Amino acid sequence: MRRLKDAVVGDRLRKIYNADLFGPVLTGDSNLDELKDAIDKVKKYVENYDPKTVTEGELVFKTIYATSVVSHGVDLDELNFMVFQGLPYATSEYVQALSRVGRKQLGVVFLWFYPNRVRDDSFYRNFNRYHNSLDHEVKPVPINRFARLGLHQTINSLFCAGIMNYLSDKKGRPLFHKKDVMDMTEEDEKNLVAFIESVYGGEYLDIDVAHEVSIRLNQIKESSDGLNEFFPNILKRSGDFFFRNQSGMRGIQKQLALGLKPQDIGRLKERGEDMPGKDIHSIPESSSFFQGHIGQFFSKSGFSFRIQSNYSDQNKLEEINTNKYKPRFLKIINRKIAARNSGGGNLYQVTPEDLIVSAVKLIDDVDREDVCGIFEMYPRSGLCTKDGCNSYFEIDRGRTCGHRDDDPWEQFTFLAFCVECGRLLPLHYMTNIFNDCKKCGGKNTLTILRWGRNKDDMSSYRVKCTVCGSEERLYFYPCDHTDRNTRECISTRPKKRFRGVPARAGAIIHPHVISIPDIPQEDEIDQSGRKNSQGRMLSEAFSYFFSYEIDGALLNLPEFQKIMSDDISFWQLLRVNTLCEDKNLDLSDRENWSRNQLLKIIKSAIKIAKERIEPDGSNHDAIIANYGIDKIKRALTAVKDIDFDENDLQGIYLLDSNTLNSRDIPKQPPDNYSNWLGHFGLKEVVQISDLTIVQALIGIIEGSTRKEGSLFRPIETGRNDRRKATVFVRDPDRGCSLSSGL
């Protein structure tokens, strides 16, 4: 943001209009004092502002330059004019920032679209339609503010703040070190607990504050650190994830730390670039799928980079029931591919064998742990800026203009992009850069670039011969929609010229991320309300017998259950009869069984059949017949085209949930709760705690995200001909709550 203000905008204002920019810059790195100072200065300016006293040349506006932090940390009724530089990625972020202006008086908002950003171009063309449906574009959030994990993640900060501020004020001396904690009395501990409960609103807590305080005090007192050690550091080094302090809105998250490609470190050093801080790029966990996925661009220290790889965390992957989600990933991916192909695309459908599910690696400490992936400098093209040379060159091959490698240069960050098939290539591949000169016949001499007033305006570019100085317009070749590596056709659309686009985050590549609540069924929960291993066992057995082409959620379809209930041959099997006896279920009264009782028998048959199969598979066919697996498969095949997703599962779970982890009345209901239910046509509101939200990056969209048949493609990992479609998963919201009305 500072570079944008000073170098990009400020320099042009100074050169063209002899003007300058004034005002603070606020980003996610700004501390609370900087935010408060900016707010106070604006308020003071408005209070003292008198238009009659403003003379020519004086400031009329008090300006703040900010990232999205302004939409969360700056509350000013005085803000009435806002300019967006590009459209924010999330509609919720756009609405949140938009609401900062016009609180008291009529507000004015300008949306400055990036002309070379495909996504911005799409929103510009559909602006009215988008704005008329803003509320529908905001993605729903499936967790509420009483999420148990949220309390665990924030209580350590309150614990430390309570001692260093509240108790310090109460005792009249600073309490910062281990020795101060050692001297705390029982009364001090009670006061600290009461302070934390008052901050949260004690009567609504789903957490034992006294216990949380006690274990932290014991951790500090029993540590081997010296008495003068800063006690928050003792907690941080304990290794407990929830003993870390929240240093900001993202301060408690893990990080996706990427390392710069070793060859690029060497190249930058050779060209005199100072490397400290540039070889590691850290992204907060919550943004890892949006800003840290393979193929995404980002800018750092004046250079553009592209993420080359993400490492997998095998231990984390084992915690996620991938067998359960793989059929859903396949269904969504293949639907997206089919939609693309209907518009002229030519991508292959993904088979179960060709889909990899990977848990993205995240770390706590960038300085002490290995990186989570690799990024590279991209595009790998530059401009020699020595004495205004502006000769285009490939970074890996060096300059052709005669200047030395350690002479000044800058990266040239434009790429050639086809909006029809999504091909993205270096600029010199699909333009007349490096062509022979038509006037003097020089070989590959068209290398010097010239442009108009705006360097971002590709239509103003010209290419100059290094020998005779003749110029011609920079032009792009038509795309033949053929992959350069495999020579396969990737689109049947008519040929269209490439266009120049900047290698910036959100300009070309957009992640397609989905969030799925992991809804456990009744038999997957033990007496304590926690999920047991039955769900994973069922998913493994289900995928073994029915492959990933059939979704396990189909077991919950009423149509499937009706087919199975009416299949007399299944219930006549000896093994099935034994299962009914073990569950104390009367087969003769099957018509009166509940949905859960019927499912218990079917699920048990699937799980036990898988356990009974010999390692060599010698009894496979006999087991299939004895436990009716063939009959279950026939019923599943009959209903597999019926759309049944997590929303349906969620409804079933809420209707059938036991009382171990559900609540019929919210902890903080409205005063007129019964009238409130009636107003919305609800019978009751059920809250379910301790759910897991699985987030999955299933692919990327190239170019516009809003056009029909968007250019979706799965992310591929692996080497050369062994590359396979890969879905990256993480479970960011363990222990969250879900509320739903019935």
Residue 555 has a pLDDT of 86
User: Please, which pLDDT band fits residue 659 given cuts at 50, 70 and 90?
Assistant: very low
User: Please, which pLDDT band fits residue 660 given cuts at 50, 70 and 90?
Assistant: very low
Could you read off the pLDDT of 24-52 as tens digits, one per residue?
887 766 767 777 788 888 888 777 777 66
677 or 432, higher pLDDT: 432
Residue 657 has a pLDDT of 52
Residue 249 has a pLDDT of 47
Distances 259 to 23, 189, 251, 283, 305 between C-alpha atoms, Å? 34, 44, 21, 12, 11
259 or 201, higher pLDDT: 259
Starting from the edge strand earliest in sequence, which strands make up the sheet with 297-300, in order?
Answer: 280-284, 255-260, 373-377, 303-310, 297-300
Q: Which of these, 615, 600, 602, lies nearest to 546 by C-alpha position? A: 602
Q: Are 629 and 609 in contact (CB under 8 A)?
A: yes
Q: Are 321 and 280 in contact (CB under 8 A)?
A: no
Could you read off the pLDDT of 331-383 as tens digits, one per residue?
889 989 998 998 888 888 999 889 999 999 998 777 778 899 999 999 999 99
Residue 101 has a pLDDT of 84
Q: Are 15 and 51 in contact (CB under 8 A)?
A: no
Q: Is the pLDDT of residue 13 over 80?
A: no
Could you read off the pLDDT of 462-492 as tens digits, one per residue?
999 999 999 999 999 999 999 877 788 889 8
Compute the distance between CA of residue 213 and CA of residue 202 in angstroms, rounded to an integer. 14
Residue 606 has a pLDDT of 93
Continuous segment of H or E residues that includes residue 305? strand 303-310
692 or 388, higher pLDDT: 388
Q: Which of these, 111, 65, 114, 66, lies nearest to 84 by C-alpha position? A: 111
Residue 40 has a pLDDT of 82
User: Please, which pLDDT band fits residue 713 given cuts at 50, 70 and 90?
Assistant: very high
CA angle 341, 359, 140 (to 5 degrees): 65
Start-to-end C-alpha separation, the chain: 46
Mean pLDDT in residue range 527-556: 76
Compute the distance between CA of residue 285 and CA of residue 250 in angstroms, rounded to an integer. 8
DSSP state of 739: E
Residue 275 has a pLDDT of 52
Residue 527 has a pLDDT of 47
Residue 149 has a pLDDT of 64
Residue 497: strand pairing partners: 478
Q: Are 21 and 62 in contact (CB under 8 A)?
A: no
Residue 315 has a pLDDT of 84
Q: Is the pLDDT of residue 646 over 90?
A: no
Compute the distance between CA of residue 710 and CA of residue 706 in angstroms, rounded to an integer. 7
CA angle 509, 512, 514 (to 5 degrees): 160
Mean pLDDT in residue range 136-152: 62
Q: Is the pLDDT of residue 531 over 60?
A: no
Residue 638 has a pLDDT of 92
Task: Locate the domains of the chain by residue range.
Answer: 148-237, 533-643
**DSSP-assigned letters across all residues of 299-343:** EETTEEEEEEEE-B-HHHHHHS-HHHHHHHHHHHHHHHHHHHHHT
Task: Report phi then psi at 57, rounded to 5.
Answer: 95, -10
Residue 612: strand pairing partners: none
Task: Report phi then psi at 407, rounded to 5.
Answer: -75, 160
Q: How many C-beta atoms lie closer than 10 Å to residue 134's C-beta?
A: 13
Residue type, 296: Q
Q: Is the pLDDT of residue 20 over 50?
A: yes
Could you read off the pLDDT of 76-112 as tens digits, one per residue?
777 888 888 888 877 878 888 888 888 777 889 988 8
| 130-144, 407-421, 659-673: segment of lowest average pLDDT | 659-673
Quick one: what percent of the chain has pLDDT higher than 70?
A: 82
* pLDDT, mean over the chain: 82
Quick one: what percent of the chain has pLDDT higher than 90?
A: 37
Task: Specify the 3-state DSSP secondary structure of 672.
Answer: coil
Q: Are 573 and 627 in contact (CB under 8 A)?
A: yes
Distances 543 to 335, 551, 553, 617 between C-alpha atoms, Å? 21, 9, 12, 16
